[in-house]
């Protein structure tokens, strides 16, 4: 029998902010689906984790949003054929992804403690 793997809170929030960014950018999903449906599902999962509130994790959630936005902007800049700072941007993206991973892990741990379950990798 296959075991269902439940994503941790950090993973859910990470995807939620990516979906939100795609909505802001006006990107469309393949196959006629919309990101609005996925966004609503992800918001429901976050509410399940917090029992309807986000409490003390708000700072980490906002940090994750800011890091993701910066990663997207720097990645787009690095892909530009006119970019002369690709190496500098690549190094900063490594640091930003490390920061993103740290925040996701922290939120996974806090989210799983609040629900009495283990986060991904525990």
Each residue's pLDDT tens digit, 61-97 = 877 888 888 898 889 899 888 888 988 999 999 999 9
Range of the domain at 76: 9-115
In a domain, 2, yes or no: no
DSSP assignment of 76-118 equals HHHHSTT-S-HHHHHHHHHHHHHHHHHHHHHHHHHHHHHHTS-
- Tell me how far CA of residue 19 lies from CA of 31, 72, 82, 115, 118, in angstroms: 16, 12, 28, 24, 25
Confidence of residue 122 (pLDDT cuts 50, 70, 90): very low
Q: What is the DSSP letter of 57?
A: G
DSSP, collapsed to helix, strand or coil, labels residue 71 as helix
121 assigned to some structural domain: no
Residue 62's pLDDT is 72
Q: State the total domains in the chain.
A: 1
């Amino acid at each position: 029998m296959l075991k269902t793997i439940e994503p941790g809170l950090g993973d859910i929030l990470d995807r939620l902010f990516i979906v939100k960014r795609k909505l802001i950018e006006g990107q469309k999903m393949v196959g006629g689906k919309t990101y609005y449906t996925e966004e609503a599902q992800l918001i429901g999962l976050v509410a399940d984790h917090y029992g309807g509130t986000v409490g003390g994790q708000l700072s980490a959630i906002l940090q994750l949003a800011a890091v993701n936005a910066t990663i997207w902007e720097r990645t787009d800049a690095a892909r530009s054929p006119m970019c002369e700072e690709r190496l500098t941007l690549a190094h900063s993206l490594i640091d930003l992804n490390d920061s993103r991973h740290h925040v996701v892990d922290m939120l996974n741990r806090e989210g799983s403690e609040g629900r009495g379950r283990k986060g991904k990798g525990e």
